[in-house]
Amino acid sequence: MSKKTLIFSIVLIVLVTFIGSSLFDEELAMDAAAKSQGTETELAAEMAADSADVVDEWVISVYDDMMQRISEEEGLDWRLMSAIAYNESRFKSHVVSKQGAVGLMQVTPIVCRQFNVDKEHLADPETNIRLAGKLLRKIDSTLKMSSATPENDRMSIILACYNGGIGHVSDARRLAKSNGENPNSWEVVARYLQQKADPAVYESELVKYGKFTGSRQTEAYVREVMKKYDVYCKMTSQQ
């Protein structure tokens, strides 16, 4: 091999190596950019999802606007109404219980008659919520609790009536009062509701609505609704 041929070969090898190296570096850069772009896209998607979750956190149900409007008109807390709907039906408007209670708030046909509403409309969410609101207000006015009654006690006793019947709760309050205890304390009322399963108690002249064996269910109902209400209050207060 001549000297010129040797020099030419060396130069050619150097050029090929340099070009190959540049192309390889460019591919690495493009691959890194693509991965970076993919990561940024994924992060953006995750952030968007997180943002959506934050927004959705404050949505209690698809009935929020209706709950707020009707509750305001009826003078009630919409978050309590929503807590009742969650526990009664999980926000399903066409649920019907074995006892014939219907809809979001599990309102019975008897309530329809009380407020002169055709029971055929009971599954309509607006009608159902409004009837529940009117029933809660009627319970409150019928109980005539002292204005000094703590709000948690007031709500708990009203919820007990909504679930177990105002008659049984009124019996328990009468029993409490006759024994020198506070008829506006939910703790006291719950204790006397339990006693209404005892013949020695439910056969008393003070008891007008007879035996009651559902105290555990009613206490659990009050506890769960109040717990959910507390969650909804905390959620909405952070908006």
Q: What is the pLDDT of residue 57?
A: 56
Same domain, 156 and 228: yes
Q: Which residues pair with 107 in a beta bridge?
A: 102
Q: What is the pLDDT of residue 1?
A: 55
Same domain, 95 and 159: no
- Structure-token match 């105290």, residue found: 215
105 has a pLDDT exceeding 50: yes
Same domain, 81 and 134: yes
Cα of 231 vs its chain's centroid, Å? 7
Same domain, 69 and 135: yes
SS3 17: helix
Q: Which of 136, 124, 35, 120 is CA-nearest to residue 76?
A: 136
Residues of the domain holding 119: 60-143
Q: What is the pLDDT of residues 44-70, one digit of tens each?
A: 333 333 333 334 456 899 999 999 999
Supply the DSSP symbol for 120.
G
Q: What is the pLDDT of residues 206-237, one digit of tens each?
A: 999 999 999 999 999 999 999 999 999 999 88
Q: What is the pLDDT of residue 128?
A: 98
Same domain, 150 and 129: no
CA-CA-CA-CA torsion sign (147, 82, 66, 103): negative
Q: Which residues pair with 96 in a beta bridge?
A: 102
Domain tally, the chain: 3
Same domain, 53 and 64: no
Which run of H or of E encompasses 85? helix 78-89
Q: What is the pLDDT of residues 87-96, one digit of tens each?
A: 999 999 999 9
Mean pLDDT of the chain: 83
147 has a pLDDT exceeding 60: yes
- CA dist., res. 234 & res. 236, Å (int): 6
Q: Which two tokens stand for residue 172?
A: 């328990």
Catalytic residues: 88
Same domain, 127 and 154: no
Cα of 72 vs its chain's centroid, Å? 18
Q: What is the pLDDT of residue 17?
A: 45
Of 15-29, 140-154, 200-214, minimum mean pLDDT range: 15-29
